[in-house]
Chains A and B, each alone.
Chain A
């Protein structure tokens, strides 16, 4: 079941991070986690291999 997996992943991520969510906010944070999973699907789209991460300062005029 997808929802069971999401719930288990959610709990595991919080446990690894050492963060405790009050019981009355559990469902709301789980819902936020599901929205997060939906949003970051964009990050699964392939990028050209040579594309490097951005680094500050970001613009060609910088002389650092």
Chain B
């Protein structure tokens, strides 16, 4: 049986709908057909809302035909990591602790924004349990697979979001990022993942892991699609105590302005601290070459030592996640996967002074990264040591010995994006990370777009016999 083709990008679908050559119903049916063909092997979805999607697509089609097109994303399917509320659907967080009985009565703010834009919700996606567990925990639903090679890690915790986008089931899926959980699935699956500035996109209606470190944002196949989504998502939300009342940027008007005249700071020592693989290091060197060839000035910059970031980040994450889960950890520990339980239980070791010191250190580290960004338009570094590890090699202990290079920017709140940067000898994607000034997602997207358009990595697809 032939596999239906991957869905078009948001930009392609939007243009085709505007031209009248593609209907929301046909687009949605195409997505559902691809999901039906691939889902048995990839496990991207926990809840597939096919009937709801068909009804929403039909309604979008009626509105558009009647001349009431709401905007560029009207009638285009999307999906949500299953920690986002969507009224009428269960929010499981991929956990027996919540389960399918936990039906949302209202939309998350982000869900509401996407629905108001006329997007068509296909369903809820797999995650690491409560955005904290690991890919090998036996849970009520299977773990999402990496379409480039199912024996390798899909990244996490927004694993299903990465899988659904990378495999062409959907052009955009929402993820969440507390230490890298949008950017790492994007990095390991060859797509784009943006963690916006802390406070830029609402967290209201999203199951929390760590109040001060949680960010919400999109995963897409292209940078332009990411920018199109941010046009919808960037808004002040009074329902989110961490939401910043800062005017939303225009993420599309300057997207194609290129990088000539910009200065990009390469955090080489930061990369070296992560012990990049030779292929990972070569990908970063190539990224520097590409950006220079496009007219950017690339200079080396020094970020604070990784150990300071890790101490502050993990103290906050451990303490806050333990505070959220402590009753369930005591009363129903068996409902958690082993990895999730042990990682959240680490919060039992955090003292009050630890937590306050971590937040004080956070102030200093944020200022230090701000100071680096005062001298350049963005920081370039790797997101991880290399390509997705084999599942058998994923560290599933409570204490992970090697941390990715993503969590520092959860701590400082700066916007950070991962985009494709090459492939290793096994055919697995490599990625680079760009970090911008607070609330300057537009610059991060502009640089990412320039790199993307100068390379061909984003055009490659997972092998169909595996995807």
In the complex, how many angstroms separate the beta carbon of B363 from the nearest chain A beta carbon?
Answer: 5
| CA A33 to CA B211, docked complex, whole Å | 23
Which of A18, A32, A47, A54 is in CB contact (< 8 Å) with B397?
Answer: A32
The A1-59 residues at the B interface (CB cut-off 8 A) are 10, 13-14, 16-21, 25, 28-29, 31-33, 35-36, 39-44, 47, 51-59
Q: Does B413 count as interface, using CB distance less than 8 angstroms?
A: yes
| 6 A–B contacts, CB within 8 A, in A order | A28-B397, A29-B342, A35-B401, A36-B349, A47-B360, A54-B363
**Chain A hits for B356, CB < 8 A:** 53
Residue total for B at the interface (Cβ-Cβ under 8 A): 49
Pick the interface stretch among B39-47, B96-104, B243-251, B386-394. Answer: B243-251
- Chain B 371-408 interface residues, beta-carbon cutoff 8 Å to A: 397-399, 401
Q: 5 closest pairs, A vs B, by CB?
A: A53-B359, A17-B348, A42-B311, A32-B399, A57-B244
CA distance A35 to B426 in the complex (A): 33
User: Is A19 a contact partner of B439 (Cβ separation < 8 A)?
Assistant: no
Could you tell me if B212 and A56 are in contact, using CB atoms closer than 8 angstroms?
A: yes
Question: Chain B: residues with CB nearer than 8 A to chain A?
Answer: 197-199, 211-212, 241-246, 307-308, 310-312, 314-315, 322, 326, 329-330, 333, 338, 342, 345-349, 353-354, 356-364, 366, 397-399, 401, 413, 438-439
Partner of A63, one of B211, B246, B359, B361: B246
Q: How far is the CB of B305 from chain A (nearest CB, A)?
A: 9
Complex alpha-carbon distance, A61 and B398, angstroms: 38
The complex places the Cα of A33 from the Cα of B338 at a distance, in Å, of 17
> Which range holds the interface residue count of chain A?
35 or more
Interface contact B315-A43, CB-CB below 8 Å: yes
Give A12 to B246 CA distance when docked, in angstroms.
45
Q: Given the known A-B contacts A29-B398, A58-B199, A63-B245, are A43 and B354 also in contact in the complex, defined by CB atoms under 8 Å? A: yes
- Contact yes or no, A32 B398, CB < 8 A: yes
Task: Give A residues with C-beta under 8 Å from B.
Answer: 10, 13-14, 16-21, 25, 28-29, 31-33, 35-36, 39-44, 47, 51-59, 61-64
Which residues of chain B come closer than 8 Å to A14, judged between CB atoms?
345, 348
A-side contacts of B199, CB under 8 Å: 56-59, 62
Question: Which residues of the other chain, B, contact A62 by a CB distance below 8 angstroms?
Answer: 199, 244-246
In the complex, the number of residue pairs spanning A and B with C-beta atoms less than 8 Å apart equals 122
Instruction: Determine whether the beta carbon of B330 is less than 8 Å from that of A18.
Output: yes
Nearest B residue (CB) for A42: B311
Report Cα–Cα, A36/B364, bound state, in Å.
21
Tell me the complex Cα distance, A32–B345, Å: 11
A40, B212: Cα distance in complex, Å? 19
12 more A-B residue pairs beyond the given contacts A43-B315, A54-B360, A57-B243, with a C-beta to C-beta distance below 8 A: A14-B348, A16-B348, A17-B345, A19-B329, A19-B333, A32-B397, A39-B307, A39-B310, A43-B312, A53-B356, A56-B199, A57-B198
In the complex formed, the residue of B with least CB distance to A15 is B348
Q: Residues of A contacting B338 with CB < 8 Å?
A: 25
Whether A20 lies near B333 (C-beta < 8 A) is yes
User: Out of B211, B349, B363, which one reaches A51, CB within 8 Å?
Assistant: B363
Smallest CB–CB gap between B263 and chain A, Å? 21
The residue in chain A whose Cβ has the minimal distance to the Cβ of B212 is A56
Distance in angstroms from A59 CB to nearest chain B CB is 4
Docked-complex contact B314 and A39, CB < 8 angstroms: yes
CB neighbours of A16 from chain B (8 A): 348
Please determine whether B399 and A53 come into contact, CB atoms closer than 8 angstroms. Answer: no
Report chain A residues within 8 Å CB of B307. Answer: 39, 42
Contact yes or no, B360 A51, CB < 8 A: yes
